Structure 1
Amino acid sequence: MMRLKSKRVVVTGGSSGIGRAVCELFAREGAELVIGDIDDVGGAQTMASIDRDGGKASFRKTDISNEDDVRLLVEFAEGELGGIDIVMNNAAAFVFGKVEDVTRADWDKVMGVNVIGSANVVRFALPHLKKSNAGAVVNMASVSSFVAAPAFVPYNASKGALLQLTRSLAMDLAADGIRVNCVCPGAIYTPATEKHFEFTGQDRGEFFEQEANESFLKRFGTPEEVAFAALFLASDEASFITGAHLVVDGGATV
């Protein structure tokens, strides 16, 4: 349907998992992409996949917790795309633990990427979004934004803050015609799932069976299923939706 035809999109965290699926889908739907990620090897793989499908994407190695990196990413996007219509904040730090085990460095990392980094991407992209006639921001939040999990204090707190950041930005940027929404995935199988599994120390079979059985559909979701939700919120089909969160969890939080 080419729902993002000629749209100029910045995607953070596009080197693997959900981020890669978002980049591939957006490119197939006609978007021109600039991808920012700390993983330049994965970034090259994402670009190669898009190129094979005839899409257009550029990559810049970026740590979004570094303000200068974010500024340079946006400047790079302006040079490559000539402007920015959509920001897709997907980059995330996965830091788990109980409050007594979490260090200041842990807090700085998880909040620096998941909240402050995402806010700074919007901040630096804002002059370009204001010039667009279809400005949109999509943040990748989580069901962890509103459902607590054992020993998930830093991650839960950061994703809760990202959900509220989404609502606050939606209010403040509406006057500029910029919509801001977020996607809240549940159990989606990605490389981050492996990190979660390693953290729990559970038996592998038990862990994956337990996670899958928490949803009505009794399975993990796929990155592509999350990407379609992000596509909807980024597209003009969601032109009267802002400040919303779209849950993609197979019914687990119902």
Structure 2
Amino acid sequence: MSKLRLDNKKVIVTGGADGIGKAICKVFADEGAKVIVADINQNLGKETVDQINQNNPNASKYIQTDISSESSIQALMEQSLNFLGGLDIVVNNAVAFVFGKVEDVTKEDWEKVFNTNLIGAANLSASALPHLKQSSTPAIVNIASVGGFKASPGFIPYQASKAALIQLTKGLALDLSEYGIRVNCVCPGSIYTSATDRHIKFEGSDKESHLKNVAKSNLIRRIGTPEEVAYAALFLASDEASFITGTQIVVDGGLTIH
């Protein structure tokens, strides 16, 4: 039997209850990791943990977390360490979306998106630092987006936050290299999640035509799956990527080739 790629690794995944985060939690647990599913949605979080633990008994625990709250991050760290007994990997995946033109986006919208997508990731990384320093193979993986470098209409706060998250990845890689902590990010393109349905509703289009347009926009001619992003995150979190830091893997079916 081949060695599990994250055997006995201790992991926190934010936004782990649904979509890409859920896929990451499942894939990591299947590869031997012990995983904290951190998410604000209690029902989905517990459901995800139940599914993981059916295949991998006691491999995961749900902790309700508002990543935009510093006190919630502190509670997350305390409870995570009690369950995990240490920390090797942090995956910053929690995300907030606001759809609309710039004139329709409020100050509260901007704060919601940046506090979740950027500042929450920075605060959790800082909170995790003392514990990551004690790991022999520490890593941080941020889930950014091709929206961080390719603009689309109606996504201004989201795209700006993801551009900043890509730059945060590079800055953290520089600052944390002295501790042996690798920091990378994954930039997904069009991936089918519950956010896709919200986007379709915002556009006022029907699902079939939306998915056809997405398929035409990339070289693989289909929309991606959360699992395809999860396997990119798995590689960056694993020892296979031990000589990789400060960069990103783009998972977009060739959307941004030009």
Aligning the two structures, in what range does the TM-score lie when normalised by the shorter sequence?
over 0.9
Q: Please, which of 134, 138, 142 is the counterpart of residue 135 of structure 1?
A: 138
Paired with 1:158 and 1:199, the residues of 2 have a C-alpha distance of 20
Percent identity over the alignment is 55
Given the two structures, how large is their TM-score scaled by the length of structure 1? 0.98
1:158 aligns with 2:146: no
Contact 2:211 2:222 in 1 (8 A): no
Q: Tell me which amino acid in the other structure corresponds to 1:124.
A: S
Partner residue, 1:209: 212
Paired with 2:244 and 2:98, the residues of 1 have a C-alpha distance of 31
Partner residue, 2:65: 62
Contact 1:187 1:212 in 2 (8 A): no
1:228 aligns with 2:256: no
Aligned to 1:131, what secondary structure does the other structure show? Answer: coil
Given the two structures, how large is their TM-score scaled by the length of structure 2? 0.97
Paired with 1:246 and 1:175, the residues of 2 have a C-alpha distance of 23
Deviations 1:206-233 (A, max 9, x none): 2121112111011011111110000000
Q: Map 1:73-152 to 2 at 5 A.
A: 73-152=76-155
RMSD: 0.9
Partner residue, 1:2: 4
The alignment covers a number of residue pairs equal to 254
Partner residue, 1:46: 48
Paired with 1:52 and 1:62, the residues of 2 have a C-alpha distance of 23
Deviations 1:4-49 (A, max 9, x none): 0010000100101111110000001000111110011111111111
Contact 1:143 1:186 in 2 (8 A): yes
Shift of 1:145: 0.9
Q: Tell me which amino acid in the other structure corresponds to 2:66.
A: D
Runs of 4+ that moved beyond 3 A: none
Paired with 1:96 and 1:143, the residues of 2 have a C-alpha distance of 16
